[in-house]
């Protein structure tokens, strides 16, 4: 029996569900019960009746699933699946930053630790950040953390003066504007689409800017076009399935590598073997201290309510 089939059997016998992010390896996406972006994954985690949640993603995603499901077992195939953006916002430093601006409402991007979420008023994702910022009265000052690129983009879209934490994602800051422009010159008919975690000079040349789910939907709505896709290259698997006859080109990274794209090493730490092992052994398990989980839950629930 193949590893994929063994995982399917284990899922049935253990009443488990596998949630996977678009940036995961293709073979993991293929056996997942749901593949999505951070918002979709949070919504699925909140509504599942499964006994075990295997989160094929990175640590903060599995941690969020555990906060939403304190009585369920949440597994992560590899505990080394971290996040450069989450790590760019250490809790002690952020606490001091928040204390220095006591009148500000705190909106944090979901790509952060439970400790940061617990210090927040509302959590957001790239899918709903615009709506959530716009839900705050205009006279209320806002701290937006940890992603400065997403925050700068939202500030520009809303006209709000957001106080930004200086954090970023190494994957989305790895794109080379010079190589991108050269690639576009060689493919003049291709439409550039980009994730808002990308740097401003990348967003300035993009026709469409949106979350991973938003980018996939945009491509589905314009299948006759060719696209240069500026986000982690794992998205191309699902995107190509949705538009099999559409030419999709990964945006080039500054560093020369085999895929000529930008990949998240943390996302790729998970393998189908590790997924099988973690489901079989029910380990490694994600645990969030009760008090911390309760503090972090409220801003997540506010996000989910505002996203309906």
pLDDT at position 261: 77
pLDDT at position 278: 98
pTM of structure: 0.94
pLDDT band at 308 (very low <50, low <70, confident <90, very high): confident
Mean pLDDT, residues 67-78:
97
**Statement: residue 258 has pLDDT above 90:** no
Cα 297 to Cα 117, 118, 158, 278, distances in angstroms: 8, 8, 27, 26
Query: Could you read off the pLDDT of 155-193 as tens digits, one per residue?
Result: 999 999 999 999 999 999 999 999 999 999 999 999 999
Q: What angle do CA 97, 267, 28 make, to 5 degrees?
A: 145
Query: Could you read off the pLDDT of 259-302 as tens digits, one per residue?
Result: 767 899 999 999 999 999 999 999 999 999 999 999 999 999 99
**Statement: residue 1 has pLDDT above 80:** no
Q: Would you give the DSSP letter of residue 285?
A: B
Residue 195's closest CA among 109, 132, 121? 109
Which regions of the chain does DSSP assign to beta strands (E)? 16-21, 34-36, 52-56, 73-75, 105-109, 122-124, 142-145, 163-164, 190-194, 208-209, 226-230, 248-250
């Amino acid at each position: 029996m193949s590893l994929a089939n063994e995982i399917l059997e284990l899922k049935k016998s253990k009443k488990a569900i596998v949630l996977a992010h678009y940036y995961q390896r293709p073979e993991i996406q293929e056996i997942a019960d749901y593949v999505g972006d951070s918002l979709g994954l949070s919504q699925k985690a909140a509504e599942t009746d499964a006994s075990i949640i295997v989160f094929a993603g990175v640590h903060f995603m599995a941690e969020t699933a555990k906060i939403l499901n304190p009585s369920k077992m949440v597994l992560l195939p590899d505990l080394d699946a971290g996040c450069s953006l989450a790590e760019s916002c250490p809790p002690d430093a952020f606490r001091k930053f928040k204390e220095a601006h006591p009148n500000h409402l705190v909106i944090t991007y979901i790509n952060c630790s439970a400790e940061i979420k617990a210090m927040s008023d509302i959590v957001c994702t790239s899918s709903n950040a615009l709506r959530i910022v716009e839900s705050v009265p205009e006279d209320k000052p806002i701290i937006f953390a940890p992603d400065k690129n997403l925050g700068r983009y939202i500030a520009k879209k809303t006209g709000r003066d957001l106080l930004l934490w200086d954090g970023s994602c190494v994957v989305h800051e790895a794109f080379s504007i010079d190589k991108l422009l050269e690639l576009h010159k060689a493919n003049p008919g291709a439409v550039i689409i980009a994730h808002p975690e990308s740097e401003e000079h990348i967003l300035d040349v993009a026709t469409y800017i949106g979350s991973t789910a938003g980018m996939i939907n945009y491509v589905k709505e314009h299948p006759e076009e060719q696209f240069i896709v500026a986000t982690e290259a794992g998205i191309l698997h699902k995107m190509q399935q949705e538009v099999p006859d559409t030419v999709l080109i990964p945006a080039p990274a500054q560093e020369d590598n085999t895929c000529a794209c930008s990949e998240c090493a943390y996302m790729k730490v998970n393998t189908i073997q590790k997924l099988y092992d973690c489901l079989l052994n029910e380990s490694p398990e994600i645990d969030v201290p009760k008090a911390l989980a309760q503090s972090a839950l409220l801003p997540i629930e506010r996000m989910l309510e505002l996203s309906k």
